Structure 1
Amino acid sequence: MSTTYDILVVGGRVAGASTAMLLARAGARVALVERSAYGSDTVSTHGLMRAGVLQLSRWGLLDTLTAAGTPPIRETTFHYSDREAQQITIRAKGGVGALYAPRRQVLDRILVDAAADAGADVRHRTAVTTLLRDESGRVAGARVQDRAGRTADLLASLTIGADGIRSAVASAVDASVVRRGESRSAILYRYYAGLRTAGYEWAYAPGAGAGFLPTNEELTCVFVATTPARMQALGREEAFATLLTETGLAERVFSAEPASRLHGWAGAAGFIRQSWGPGWALVGDAGYYKDPITTHGMTDGLRDAELLTDAILRSPLAQYQATRDQLSHRFFDATESVASYAWSMDEVRLLLREVSSAMGDEVEHLQSLPSALLQAPGAGL
C-alpha cells in the first residue's frame, strides 16, 4: 500500500515536528513519522534561548507552552569559581519577554499537535525501514513499519531527515560531513523539587560546568558537565557531587529533594553535514549537531525548521545550508572551545561572550523571515 505526499518528515521531535507544521501550514501535503510514542520524554538540555522562544511566539505556540505550566525565566546568573556571580536580566525584546526550559514531553507534544492541526499525517511508533528511489536514483519517499509490523510506502517529492545525530536518512543518502568537531562533554542531570532559583544559572570552574534550569511541575533540572575521561574516572554519583562542589552549587542542590533518577549523556563530537541532495534534506541534529554545553540544541532545531521551510517555499535548498552554516560556524567554534574544558576562567568568559554575540545574529536573521507566510495555511508549493 502506498500514499503520496509532497513532503515526508522522518523524526517527530523538535526539528521534525516544527518543519512538518510549517510546511503543512503553507499548504503542503505532509507525512510525519516518529519511532517513539506520542508525548514521550527524551534526553535533553531543556533550555530555550531567545531565538527559540521567538520562533514559538511567531508561530502562535508560546501561549500553549506557558499554559502547560512552563515557568518564565527572567534572569540568568553566571557563577565563576574565581569571582562573584554575575546576574543578567532578560530584557523584553522583539516580542520575547522571558526564556523557557520546557520538559520534552511538553514541548514535543505541542509541536506535534500543531503539525496535526495544520493537516500533517502524524504517525508515531513508526520507523523507516528503507528509503525509496525513482529510476534516476532520486529519493522518492520511504517504506515504513509500525509496531504491529504493518508496512507502507510513503511517496514524497522531498524526504526530510529529522531523526537525530545517528540519522538513518543521513546514512542512507551518505551525507558527507562538512565539518567535524573534536571536543565533547559528558553530562549528568537530575530533577529536583524545592530548589530555589530565580532563573537560568550557569556555573564554571576549571574543567567543569554545571547549571540550573527551572522547568515544568515546579522542578529544576540540575546538570553537571566535564570531559568523558574525567566523568568515567569519577563514576556517576561521585562525579555529580564533585562537579557541583567545584562549581559552588552543591549546598543548594543537596538541600533540595531529588525528583528523578540520574540521567546521563556520554558525549559525541559535533558535526555539520551536507544537508540536501536529490529528493532529500536534513534538519536538526541530523544535519547539524554541536555539544550541549551551550544549551542550544532545541533552539537550533526550531531555527533550522524555519530556514529549511523558507528555502523549500522560496529558494533553492542550497540556500538553506548556506544560511544555516553562516549562522552556525561561529557558534560551533565557540562551543567546541567550551566543550574542551581546557580554558582558563578568563578564557571561558570570553567564549561565553562570543556565544551571546552569535545568538544575536540568529535572532536578527529570524526576525527578517516572512512570518505571515508561515502562519497562514494554503500557500501551496
Structure 2
Amino acid sequence: MSTGTSTNTYDVVVVGARVAGASTAMLLARAGARVLLLERAEPGTDTLSTHGLMRGGVVQLARWGLLDRLVATGTPAVRSTTFHWIAEEPVHVTIRPGAGVDALYAPRRHVLDRLLAEAAAEAGAEVRHGVRVTGLLRDRNGRVSGVRTEDRDGRTGSARSAYVVGADGIRSVVAEAAGANVERLGRHASAVRYAYVAGLDAPGYEWMYGDGAAAGLIPTNDGHHCVFVATTPDRMRTLRLGRTADEAFAALFHAAAPDQAGRLSEATRVDRYHGWAGAPAYLRRPWGPGWALVGDAGYFKDPISTHGMTDALRDAELLAGALLVALADRDLERPALGEYHRRRDELSTALFEVSDEIASYAWDIPTAQRLLRRLSAAMSDELELLAALPSPAILDDSPAGARLA
C-alpha cells in the first residue's frame, strides 16, 4: 500500500502504521501537516493482540468520525461484561450509554489497523507499507532530522523531517536509536496464550479470575471469539511440559474458571494458538530533540489490563496536539512535548501500577476484586478527560492550521 504524493521532506515521519502510529498520522494530516507513515508489515495483517477496546478507545473512534466505519466492518457491539470469580456467583454488568457511545467493540487488528491507515491516507498522509526503518538521521547538532529506510526489495533510502515519531512497538527502533531511557519498570509480567474460536455463545466480554490465572472471552469479527488464558511466565512454561497445546490451554482455562471450562467444548478453534511469553511493563521517556514516542514504543503495560489499544488512541491525540504546537513554533517544543510527557504519565500511572499488581497472580479473589475496582476507577478518570477534549479538527484560524496549511 503506497498512497499520497511522494516527496522526501516532511513535517513528521511516523514509524509504525498500527493503532498508535496510524492515528497520530491521521490527526496530524487532518491538521495540514506533511506526514509520511511507514510500516514494515503488509497492509491488512494481524499482530499479537487480544484487541478489546475499552470505552475510552471507542470514544476516540467516535470523536474522530470512525466508529460508524468500524461498525460497518461487521465488528459486533459488546453490550455487557461478566466477571467470573472462582467459587463465587458471576457478576453481570450492562454497558450503559455514556460519553457519546453505547457499546464496546473488539475489532481484529487487521480490521482496525487497516481502517486507521486508510483514514490517515484519506487525510493526506503518504502511507508506505513494506518499508522498515533502519536508523535515524541527525543534523550537525545531533537533533533527529529523519529516518533511513529499506523496502521489501532491499532498496535503501531516507526521508527528512522536523520530527520522527516512533510508533513501532516494544522493540522500537526509534526508541533505541534515539536513546529513550526507561523511566519506570514493572515488577511482574503475564504470559498469555489465545486463539480464535467459532460456535461460542458469549455476546459480551467475559473475564475470569481463579487459581493464579486469568482467562477471557472476547467477541470479535466473523462470529468468532478471542479466547485467552494468562498466568506467570514460569507457570506457563511448566504447563506446556508433557502436554499438547490444547491440553495446556484447557488446564489453564480450568484453573481460572473451573465452572466455565466446559464451554471450550462448545467451540471450534479456527486457527493456531498465539502466544506472548511476557515482559515487564515500562514507561520510556517519550520525546527529545526531533523525536517522540507513542503507543507501546513509549509506554507498555501488562496485557492483562486489555487496555493497550485504548491507551494508544488516547496518546495519539495528545502527541499530535503537542507536535502541531511545536511545528508552528520551534520555541514551544519543550513546553508542548513536556506537557505530552506529563499528561501521558499522569493518565498512565494508576493503570500501570494496578496492571502490574494483577500480573503478579499472587492475589486471592477479594484482592483481585479490589484491584479491578482500582482499574475501573483509573479508566473512569481517563474517560472523563477524553470526553472533555475539544474536537480534534484543527480550525482554520488556529496557529497550527495557519502554519501548516
The TM-score bracket by the shorter chain reads: over 0.9
For the residue of structure 2 that corresponds to 1:299, the secondary structure is helix
| From 131, 146, 151, the counterpart of 1:126 | 131
> What pairs with 1:138-287 in structure 2 (closer than 5 Å)?
138-235=143-240, 236-246=245-255, 247-248=257-258, 249-287=260-298
CA–CA distance in structure 2, aligned partners of residues 169 and 375 of structure 1: 31
Given that 1:34 and 1:126 are in contact with CA atoms closer than 8 Å, whether structure 2 keeps it comes out as yes
User: What per-residue deviation string (whole Å, max 9, x for no partner) do you get for residues 1-45 of structure 1?
Assistant: 971000000011100000000000011000000000011111101
Partner of 2:332: none
Q: CA 1:374–1:183 in 2, change beyond 3 Å: closer, same or farther?
A: farther
Maintained 8 Å contact 2:319/2:340: yes
Unaligned runs of 5+ in 1: none
CA deviations on 1:152-186 (whole Å, 9 max, x unpaired) are 21100000000001100000011011100121111
Offset at residue 368 of structure 1 (A): 2.2
User: Using the alignment, how far apart are the partners of 2:203 and 2:369 within structure 1?
Assistant: 21
TM-score (norm 2): 0.92
Q: TM-score, normalised by structure 1?
A: 0.97
- Alignment-derived partner of residue 30 in structure 2: 25
Query: SS at 2:393's partner residue?
Result: helix
Counterpart in the other structure of 2:377: 357
Question: What's 1:340 paired with?
Answer: 360
- Quick one: distance in 2 between partners of 1:330 and 1:206? 25
Q: Percent identity?
A: 57
Residue 344 of structure 2 aligns to which amino acid in structure 1?
Answer: R
- Structure 2 stretches lacking a partner, 5+ long: 1-5, 326-334
Distance apart, 1:254 and its partner CA: 1.6
Deviation (angstroms), 1:82: 2.5
Q: Does 1:289 align with 2:294?
A: no
Q: Is the 1:2–1:155 contact (alpha carbons within 8 Å) kept by the matching residues of 2?
A: no
Question: Is 2:55 the counterpart of 1:35?
Answer: no
Please report how far the alpha carbon of residue 375 of structure 1 lies from its aligned counterpart in structure 2 after TM superposition: 8.9
CA distance in 2, matches of 1:233, 1:61: 43
Distance in 2 of aligned mates of 1:125 and 1:181: 33
What corresponds to 2:348 in structure 1?
328
Task: Tell me how far apart the structure 1 counterparts of residues 182 and 263 of structure 2 sit (CA, whole Å).
Answer: 42
- 1:191–1:134 distance in 2 versus 1, CA, 3 Å: same
How many angstroms does 1:96 deviate by? 1.1
Q: 1:318 aligns with which of 320, 338, 360?
A: 338
Equivalent position SS for 1:285? helix
Residue 250 of structure 1: how far off its partner (Å)? 1.6
Cα deviation digits, residues 84-120 of structure 1 (max 9, x gap): 0000011101111100000000000000000000000
How many Å apart are 1:206 and its aligned residue?
2.2
Q: Aligned partners of 1:375, 1:12: CA distance in 2, in Å?
A: 26
Structure 1: how far apart are the matches of 2:17 and 2:186?
Answer: 26
Note the C-alpha offset of 1:374. Answer: 5.0
AA aligned to 2:8 is: T
Are residues 263 and 158 of structure 1, via their aligned partners in 2, closer, same or farther at CA, if it must alter by over 3 Å?
same
2: CA distance, partners of 1:244 / 1:234: 11
**Cα–Cα, structure 1 residues 363 and 207, in superposed 2: closer, same or farther, change >3 Å?**
same
- Is the 8 Å Cα contact of residues 197 and 267 (structure 2) preserved in structure 1? yes
Query: Structure 1: how far apart are the matches of 2:280 and 2:7?
Result: 38
CA distance in 1, matches of 2:65, 2:277: 35
1:305 matches 2:312: no
* Aligned with 1:70 (options 71, 75, 80): 75
Letter in 1 for 2:92: Q
Shift of 1:149: 1.8
- Give me the whole-angstrom Cα distance separating, in 2, the residues matched to 1:287 and 1:51: 19
